[in-house]
Amino acid sequence: MLRHPSPRLPRLSSLPPRQCRGAAGPDAALVAARTTQAAQYLIGAQEKDGRFRYEYDFLAGKYRKLDNIVRQAAAGFVLAEYLASSPSAGAAAAVRRALGYYIGQSNRLARTAWS
């Protein structure tokens, strides 16, 4: 019988760091710097409507118009996790834009399905 995981999963930021036996743990300052850089990259890859750009066509020299709601949700989730551990006005605004985009997409899909 399959068992479903608990609906109350711990925040990634609350999990203890994983360390190899006999190896020094990661440098906290370096991890914090890289995490901030990753969040800034995601914020920079977000459109004004809250959608994230993620598929770049190097031959055409531009981002493709394709959209995948699972990828969109993953990017928003990562930013929300970052915001939970590192309060940032930029990340807060990006998470609000992402949530607005998800709501808009849900409303659009609902109108299409019920019309």
pTM over 0.75: no
Q: Can you list the positions of beta strands (E) in 1-115?
A: 56-57, 62-63
Q: Which domain holds residue 62?
A: 27-114
Residue 20 falls within a domain, yes or no? no
Residue 98 falls within a domain, yes or no? yes
pLDDT tens for each residue of 85-110: 888 899 999 999 999 999 998 887 77
> How far from each other are the two terminal CA atoms of the chain, in whole angstroms?
39
Residue 107 falls within a domain, yes or no? yes
The helix (run of H) or strand (run of E) holding residue 78 is: helix 69-85
Closest listed residue to residue 38, CA positions, set 17, 65, 20, 12: 12
Asked if residue 54 lies in contact with residue 45, where contact means CB atoms within 8 angstroms, the answer is yes
Residue 35 falls within a domain, yes or no? yes
The helix (run of H) or strand (run of E) holding residue 107 is: helix 89-114
Q: State how many domains the chain has.
A: 1
